[in-house]
Amino acid sequence: MDATKRPEDVVTVDVHTAKDLLTSGHRYLDVRTIEEFNKSHVEDALNAPYMFITQEGRVKNPEFLAQVSSICEEKDHLVVGCNSGGRSLRACVDLLNAGFKHVTNMEGGYSAWVDNCFAGNKTAEEFKVACKFRP
C-alpha cells in the first residue's frame, strides 16, 4: 500500500498549464463554496466545496470525498482549484489519499485565472476581490 500523501506530493501547475490541461480533456473541480462558485467559475467546472464558512469560521466539509466521488471517478484527470490555492492543495491531498490517481492543483486558484484574463468578464474580476478571505 502506498504511503499517505502529503502536500509536497501534490503536482501543482500554473494557470496557463492548467488551461492547457483543461483543453486536452482534464476536468476542473472547483472546491470553493457554493456561493463563491455560483458567482463565477471556470467554464464547465464541477463543484464540491472543501470547506464551509460558518459563524464559527471555516469548517471542513465532511461529505467532500463522497460529493467528489458522486461526480468524478478515481481514474478521471482533475485540475483542482479554489480561490487562491490553499483549499485546493488540501483537497488534492485528500483526493490522492482516497485513491484518485490523476489530481493536479492549480496554483493561485480562481484569482490567478481571473488575473490572467481567462474569465473574460468584469463580474469575475469584481468577484475575485469580493471573495478574498480576510483574517
Number of H helices, E strands in the chain: 6, 7
CA 91 to chain centre: 7
What is the set of active-site residues?
A: 82
- Cell numbers found for residue 52: 464551509
CA 40 to chain centre: 13
Closest CA to 134 of 68, 83, 64: 83
Q: Among the residues of 24-135, which ranges form H helices?
A: 34-39, 64-71, 86-97, 109-115, 122-130
